[in-house]
Chain A
Amino acid sequence: MNDTICAISTPLAPGAISIIRMSGSGAISIANKVFVGKDLEKVNDHTINYGHIYDGDELIDEVMVSVMREPNTYTREDVIEINAHGSIASAKRILELLLKNGCRLANPGEFTERAFINGRIDLVEAESVMDIIDSSNEKALSMAVNQLSGSTSNKIKEIRKMISDIETNIEVNIDFPEYDDINVLTNEIIKPKLINISDELHTLLNNSKDSKIIKDGIDTVIIGKPNVGKSSILNKLLEEDKAIVTDIPGTTRDIVEGVIDINGIRLNLIDTAGIRETDDLVESIGVKKSLELINKASLIIFVLNNNTEITDSEYEILSKIKDKNYIIIINKIDLDKNIDDSNLNNVIYMSTVNDIGIDDLKNKIINMYELDKLNTKDFNYLSSARSISLIEKAIDSIDKSIGAIEEGQPIDIVEVDISSASEYLGDILGINYKEDLFEQLFSNFCLGK
C-alpha cells in the first residue's frame, strides 16, 4: 500500500498551471531523479523549490516543487507537488517520466483513500473532498470547505450523542431494575426527546437537499415544437451568462451538455444537441422522447408559440409536466397572439428577437428554487446520496420508535429503532464497519485528490 503513486491533480485545461502530485515513501527520491535544482532529499520540510525537470538531457519544463514530508501532509505520507508551467503535453511528459522512474499511476480517489486509511480524515470529510473536486461553482466550493472543518461531523456526532444518551439510560434501567432511584425513562419521557431528534435530523436533511441543488445544479430540459425558438432561448441564456457549452462525458450527467450559472447555481441543460441538430422534438422524435427527457429533468422549460394555437401533442406534454417543476415560455410575443393561455400557469412571455423575457425567466427560476434564500455559509449538510439516504433511514427509525410509543409498545421494543438510528448515523461517520462501504466510496472519487 505504501508504494508511491502519482497523478496530474489539476484539470487538463490549456493555459493553467498543472500540478503533478506524488505520495508515498519514494516520492522525494523519485522526484529528485528528474529534478535539476536543489537536492530535494536535503531541502527543509514544507518548502517550495525552483528548478527544472529533465528527461536525460532533454529539458521538459521549468517547475516549482513542493516537498512535504510525512506525517503533516494530506495523505500522511511523503508528498511532492510539481507545479508545471508549460503545456498539457509537458505535464503529461512529466507524469510519464515519474512513472518510468518507479511511481505508479494513482487510482481514482487514491490520494484521499490514503488520507482516510492513514487516519487523516473521516468518511464525512472524505466525501466533502470529493465535492471540492467536483464543485464547479463558487458557492459549492465554500460549502465544501466549510464541511471539511468537520462541522457536519460534529452536528451528526451531537445528534448521535442525544440518541445514545437515551439508549444508555434505558440500558441502565433494564440492567439494574432494582434501583428505583435511577431516573426511569418511560415512553412519555422519551417521546418529546425523540421528536426533537427527528426535527434536528430533518433540518440536516433539508439542508442537504438544498445543498444538492447548489452542488449538482438543476437538471433542466428545454422542449417544444420545431421552430418555436428553443435554440434562440438557449443561445440567449448562454450569451447572457457568458457560460461555455461543454461536453462533460463519462459522468452520470453525461447527458448534460450546457451549463448556465444563475445566482451561482448551475442549470444543467440536457440534450441541447437535440435542440440544435434536429429542432423537431415534439413532431419527429415524438412525444415519447420528450417524456423521457421530462423524467430525467428536475426543471422543464416548455416553449409554446404565441402565434399558433396549442396542438394536441402539446396538450399531452402539458398534462405530463403539471406535477413537476416547470416553466412555460410563450415565445414570439412580437407576433400576433393566437394562443389561448387562459389555463396556463408559470408562464413567461418572451421575445428573443426583442430581448424580452430572459430576465423574467431567470427570476422565475430563482423564485422557484428560492435560490436567493439559500444561505450557504452555515450549512450543515451531507453531500453524497449515501449519506442522505442514511439520514433518511435514521429519521425513519426515529419515527418508527415514536410510532411504537404511540402504539404502547414496551420500552425495550421502542429502543430497537432508536438503536438503529444511532447505527445509521455511525455509518455516516464511518464508526461502524460495513465491508464494501469503503470500496464503494472511493471508487466514486475522481483522479487526483
Chain B
Amino acid sequence: MYDVIVIGGGHAGCEACLASARMKHKTLLVTGNIKNIADMPCNPSIGGSAKGIIVREIDALGGEMGKCADKSLIQMKMLNSSKGPAVRSLRAQADKITYPKVMLETLKSTDNLEILEAMVKEIIVEDNIVKGVILEDGRIINSKAVIITTGTYLKSDILVGSTRIRKGPHGEKTSNYLSDNLKELGFTIKRLKTGTPPRIDKSTIDFSKTRIENGDSTSYTFSYENNIYYDVDNQVPCHLIYTTPTTHQIITDNLNKSSMYGGLDDIKGVGPRYCPSIEDKIVRFSDKERHQLFLEPESIYYDDIYLQGFSTSMPIDVQEKMVHSLPGLENAKILKYAYAIEYDAIDSKQLKLSLETKIIDNLFTAGQINGTSGYEEAACQGLIAGINAALKLEGKEPLILKRSEAYIGVLIDDLITKGIMDPYRMLTSRAEYRLLLRNDNADMRLTEYGHDVGLITDDRYNMFILKKDSIKNLINELKTKKITPTELGNNFLSELNTTQIKDSITLYDLLKRPEVKIDSLQNMFGKYSKDVLEQVEISVKYEGYINKALKEAEKFNELDSKKIPSDIDYSKIKNLASEARQKLENVRPTSIGQASRISGVNPVDISLIIVYIKKEYFYDRK
C-alpha cells in the first residue's frame, strides 16, 4: 500500500513524486521505461521568456527542475535584459544526457520513493475515491492518492507524411488503455498535437554559413542556491540560419504530403498556436521572405543538432530536400526525422485549482495531459499536484497560488477557469501583474510556502531569511546615506552622468533616477551579494510602478475572495446568457473573480450572479 502513485516519469511526474516523497509520503513512480525518466524529447533547452521564471518559482517552492538544470546546462542567457525588470528571464541549453541522469540519481537517492517500470491500464475507483492502479500485466497496486502525469503518451500517434504509427516519442510504447479508462470514469478526452524538428549530424554542417549565438558572459543560476556548475568562458554556442526561397518552394510544392495538410485525412489533434510547424509558418505568413532557425546542440556527449523552428510532418524524402535547401546544411545528414505527435488529453476544466479532479477524490493530473506544452509548464504542475496530494492525505488545505503571486498560479487558474483549445504555453502577457512576478523575486514570493509544506529545508530557509534581512539593511542604508550639494558630491554626480543637486539627496532617491545604477554607488554602502543588489535596485527604481501593481492586485484578489457557494444552482439564475450558464456549470468557479475570468461569461452575467447570491444566501436566511 502506497500513499501516492505517480503515473509517468516525465517532468511533471518527477516533480510530483519528489514532492510527495519529500513530504514523507510513501510514493511509487510507475514509468514505461526507466531510461526515459526526465527525458527531453523536444528542444534541448530549459527556460525562456516567462518559462525561466517558472523554473525559479519551482525552485523557490522546493522543486527540482532549477537545480537539475543548473547541473546540466551548457549555455545560459538572460533574455529581455534591456526590456525591463519584469520580463527578464533565464534560458539555458540543457544537456539531454546530463539532465535525465541527474534527475534519475536524485529520484533514486530520495527516501520514501520507489520506481517501477510498468504500464498502467486502469485507475481503481471506489465510491468516487481513487484506491490505486491496475497494471497492463494485471497486477494491482493500492494507494491513497494517484497523480497522472502521462504527458503525450495517451494513445499517441507519430505522424510523418501519410503514415500514422501508434507509438510514443522516440518510438517508445504508448499507453493504449488508460485514456479509455479515464473516459469511462467520466473525463472528457480531447485530442491534441505537437511536433518536433529533425536532428542533424553536427559534423555535416558548414558552420561558416551560420551566425554564432553565444551564451551570456555573466554567470547565472536557476536555483536560489546559486551553485554554478558550468564554465562561463566555455559555453557551447548555438547558431542562427534562415530559410531560403528554395525551402519555401519545396514546402509549397509538397504541402499536400504533410500529415497536417492532406497527407492524413483523420487529424483531430489541435496544435499549439505558439509553436507552429514550418509549413504552418509558410502558409500563414506567406508574405514573410524567410524564417529564423536555430541550430541547438543537444548534448556534449553526442552529435545531434536540434533544428529549432523547423518542426514538420512532411514525409522523409521531402524533409531531406527541405533540410538541404538551408544554408550550411546543403550536405547535412539527418539523424532523426521530424514528426508530429497526436495524443489524448483531458479537459482541464474538470480539475480543481489544487489539480485534484472534480469527479474523483484523491486523483490528480499534471502536465501535458492537462493540455499544456513545455517542460517547465509540466514540471510546475507536477510539483503542485505532488504537494496537494500530500496535503490532502494530511487533511490540510491545498496550496493554491494566486495570479498575483506566481506564474504557476496564472497557469493553473487559466487551465481550470478558461480551459484550453490548443496546447498551452506560458507567456508573460498571460499575467496581469508581471511586475510582481519577476525573475529576481521568486524566492521572496514563494519560499515561505515551500518551507511550510516541508520542501524547503531549514538551512535553505535560514539563508532566505538572511537574504531578506540584508535587503532590509541595504534599503535602510540607502535611505539614510546622503549626497550633499558640495563640489565633491556634485562632481560625483557628473561622473554618473546625472543632474547635479542643490539640496542633499539620499542614495535611495538618487537610485530612482533611471540613469543611475546601483553598481556605481557600491562603495558608499556595505558589501552585499549580487542578487540582493539586483532586487533592491529593481524595487527602488520601479517602486511607483510596483506599488501600483500591488494595489491593483489587491483589488483583483478581493474579487477572488468573494466566494460562490458550492451548491449554487445556475439554472435558477434568471436571464443568465445560456452560453454563460453552460460554461459556469462546466467550470463551477469557486469565486466571483474566477467566474469573471471565464470566457463567455460577461460582466452582466457576473452582476446577475452577485445579485442572486445576495438574495438567495443572505437575505433569505434572515
Contact = CB atoms under 8 A, between A and B. Distances in A.
A1 interface: yes
A179 B276 CA distance: 14
Contacts of B514: 407-409
A411 interface: yes
Interface string A174-187: 11111111000000
Given A180-B292, A433-B596, A175 B50 contact: yes
A416 B552 CA distance: 12
A434 B604 CA distance: 10
Contacts of B292: 178-181
Contacts of B288: 181
Residue from the set A176, A178, A407, A432 with the largest chain B CB neighbour count within 10 Å: A178
Contacts of A1: 574-575, 608
B82 interface: yes
Interface residues of B, number: 38
Given A2-B574, A117-B608, A416-B545, A411 B84 contact: yes
A-B pairs, 8 with minimum CB distance: A412-B84, A410-B84, A171-B429, A433-B603, A175-B427, A408-B514, A1-B574, A174-B87
Contacts of A438: 603-604, 607
B80 to A, nearest CB: 5
B375 interface: no
Contacts of B610: 435
B596 A413 contact: no
B580 to A, nearest CB: 11
A175 B431 CA distance: 12
B466 interface: no
Contact of B49 (A175, A415, A435): A175
B429 A435 contact: no
Interface string A58-73: 0000000000000000
Interface string A386-410: 0000000000000000000001111
A44 interface: no
B359 interface: no
Interface string B547-590: 01100000000010000000000000011010000000000000
A177 B49 CA distance: 8
Given A116-B604, A408-B514, A438-B607, A178 B294 contact: yes
A413 B290 contact: no
Interface in B56-103: 79-80, 82-87
Q: Indicate the member of A181, A412, A435 with the most B CB atoms within 10 Å.
A: A412
Nearest to B555: A434
Contacts of A432: 603
Nearest to A432: B603
Contacts of A176: 49
A434 B435 CA distance: 22
A411 B83 contact: yes
Contacts of B83: 173-174, 177, 410-412
- Indicate the member of A118, A174, A416 with the most B CB atoms within 10 Å: A174
B300 to A, nearest CB: 22
B407 interface: no
Given A171-B428, A433-B603, A410 B85 contact: yes
Contact of A413 (B542, B603, B608): B542
Contacts of A407: 514
Contact of B428 (A175, A179, A409, A437): A175
Given A411-B83, A412-B85, A412-B87, A174 B608 contact: no
A208 B577 CA distance: 33
Nearest to B559: A435
Contacts of B434: 412
A119 B604 contact: yes
A178 B93 CA distance: 14
A433 B607 CA distance: 9
B606 interface: yes
Best-surrounded residue of B86, B87, B608 (most CB of chain A within 10 A):
B87
5 contacts: A118-B575, A177-B83, A412-B84, A413-B85, A435-B559
B616 interface: no
Interface string B537-548: 000001001001
A179 B291 CA distance: 9
Interface string B492-515: 000000000000000000000011
A289 B434 CA distance: 54
Interface in A142-193: 171, 173-181
Contacts of A274: none
A435 B556 CA distance: 11
**Of residues A2, A175, A434, which shows the largest number of chain B Cβ atoms within 10 Å of its Cβ?**
A175
A390 B614 CA distance: 29
Contact of B435 (A179, A181, A416): A416
A408 B515 contact: yes
A416 B577 CA distance: 33
A409 B541 CA distance: 10
A177 B80 contact: yes
Interface string A1-14: 11000000000000
Interface string A422-439: 000000001111110111
A87 B25 CA distance: 83
Nearest to A180: B292
B575 A2 contact: yes
A1 B604 CA distance: 13
A113 B427 CA distance: 38
Interface string B414-457: 00000000000001110000110000000000000000000000
A171 to B, nearest CB: 4
Contacts of B428: 171, 174-175
Point out which of A181, A408, A431 has the most chain B C-beta atoms below 10 A from its C-beta.
A181
Given A117-B608, A430-B603, A413 B574 contact: no
Contacts of A431: 603
A109 to B, nearest CB: 14
A177 B81 CA distance: 10
From A1, A116, A119, residue with most partner B Cβ within 10 Å: A1
Nearest to B213: A178
Contacts of B607: 117, 435, 438-439
Interface string A109-125: 00000001111000000
Given A171-B429, A178-B294, A181-B292, A410 B82 contact: yes
A434 B575 CA distance: 19
A439 B80 CA distance: 43
A118 B85 CA distance: 44
Given A174-B80, A178-B292, A181-B292, A413 B545 contact: yes
Contacts of B79: 177-178
Contacts of A416: 435, 545, 548-549
A398 to B, nearest CB: 15
Interface in B472-529: 514-515
A41 to B, nearest CB: 23
A180 B82 CA distance: 14
Given A1-B608, A413-B85, A413-B86, 4 more contacts: A1-B574, A175-B50, A413-B435, A433-B559
A393 to B, nearest CB: 13
A329 B545 CA distance: 53
Contacts of B82: 410
B86 A412 contact: yes
B132 to A, nearest CB: 42
A420 to B, nearest CB: 8
Contacts of A180: 292
Contacts of A179: 292
Contacts of B435: 412-413, 416
A434 to B, nearest CB: 8
A432 B555 CA distance: 13
B38 to A, nearest CB: 24
A171 B604 contact: no
Residue of B84, B291, B559, B610 with highest tally of chain A CB at under 10 A: B84
A126 to B, nearest CB: 11
A219 B428 CA distance: 50
